[in-house]
């Protein structure tokens, strides 16, 4: 507080414009002093000059005037404008262990948002404070075992990105990628299948050799008793009996040769021929004569 009126009169304020220099000509235009408080918004300088290097106000002198025209001046004051560069840093080094956390800090334009992502997954959000600084703490549970890349974006724009690499414990065993896990699983199945094939091959070979040895020793293999053997034997007996009956019937049906019937006396030298059903000369009678 530079000005105070003992009589309690209302004072008016302004920025002094030295007619001998040009650099202070805009001071009274960009500095606002409602209720006696001086404020300066650097964005207002953009209307007069787009070069940010000219936005700094040096040696600003304020004037207070009472109703009677008496004036008082302040000491020179500088308004330094620095470009709000987005930064992100951390003092953490080494490997992140379970239960630990990492604190990230940086600078930016006040009220702008700061977002953090790991592999596209949001892990933190904050905003730049009035003093142009921000901070964010990320727990170890948000990191995967192995190498993690944390991406910080600024002001809701993806054009400004800062990356930080963090190593978490367990990367050698637990941090394998999905592809490596699948390859390991396929390799294990292939080895098990190969070992299973070799086991079956040798098992069959050993069984064959045991059976051959038993046959070479003159021993017979024990045959499992068929529970339906009695039915098969009965069927075989019925088939055999049927075959015998058929053969017997065929033998009975075959005609037996009959001897020629010798006729009684009255027809000497003749005999009855059954085949031709007539009387034929008797060869025995001819020989007797």
Average pLDDT value for residue range 94-112: 94
d(CA 198, CA 191): 11
pLDDT tens digits for range 69-99: 888 888 899 998 887 789 999 999 999 999 9
pLDDT per position as a tens digit, 216-268: 555 554 555 666 665 666 666 666 666 655 555 455 445 554 444 455 455 67
Q: What is the pLDDT of residue 174?
A: 47
Residue 173: band (very low, low, confident or very high) from pLDDT cuts 50, 70, 90: very low
Consecutive H or E run containing 60:
strand 57-60
What is the set of domains in the chain, with CATH numbers?
12-79 (no CATH), 89-168 (2.60.40.1930)
Tokens 């987005």 sit on residue:
86
Helices (H), the chain: 27-30, 178-216, 229-253, 283-288
Q: Which helix (H) or strand (E) holds 121?
A: strand 121-127
Mean pLDDT of the chain, nearest integer? 77
Residue 182: pLDDT band (50, 70, 90) is low
> Sign of dihedral through CA atoms 194, 198, 204, 208?
positive
Choose from 148-152, 202-206, 226-230 the range with maximum mean pLDDT: 148-152
At 121, give phi and psi (nearest 5°): -100, 125
Q: Which two tokens stand for residue 244?
A: 């015998």
How far apart CA 229 and CA 235 sit, in angstroms, is 10
Cβ(124)–Cβ(106) under 8 Å? no
């Amino acid at each position: 507080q530079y000005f105070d009126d003992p009589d309690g009169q209302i004072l008016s304020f302004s920025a002094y414009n030295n007619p001998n220099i040009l650099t202070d000509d805009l001071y009274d235009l960009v500095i606002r002093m409602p209720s006696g408080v001086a404020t300066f918004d650097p964005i207002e300088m953009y209307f007069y000059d787009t070069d940010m290097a000219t936005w700094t106000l040096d040696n600003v002198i304020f004037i207070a005037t009472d109703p009677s025209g008496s004036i008082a001046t302040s000491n020179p004051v500088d308004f330094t404008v620095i470009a709000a560069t987005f930064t992100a840093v951390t003092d953490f080094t080494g490997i992140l262990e379970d239960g630990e956390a990492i604190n990230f800090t940086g600078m930016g334009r006040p009220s702008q948002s700061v977002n953090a992502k790991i592999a596209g997954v949001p892990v933190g959000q904050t905003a730049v404070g009035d003093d142009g600084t921000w901070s964010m703490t990320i727990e170890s549970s948000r990191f995967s075992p192995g190498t993690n890349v944390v991406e910080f974006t600024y002001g809701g724009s993806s054009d400004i990105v800062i990356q930080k690499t963090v190593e978490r414990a367990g990367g050698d065993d637990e941090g394998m990628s999905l592809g490596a896990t699948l390859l390991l699983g396929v390799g294990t199945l292939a080895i098990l299948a190969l070992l299973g094939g070799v086991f079956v091959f040798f098992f069959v070979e050993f069984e064959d050799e045991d059976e051959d040895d038993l046959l070479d020793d003159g021993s017979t293999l024990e045959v499992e008793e068929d529970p339906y053997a009695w039915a098969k034997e009965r069927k075989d007996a019925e088939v055999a009996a049927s075959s015998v009956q058929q053969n017997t019937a065929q033998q009975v049906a075959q005609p037996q040769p009959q001897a020629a019937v010798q006729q009684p006396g009255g027809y000497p030298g003749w005999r009855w021929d059954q085949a031709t059903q007539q009387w034929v000369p008797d060869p025995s009678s001819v020989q007797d004569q």
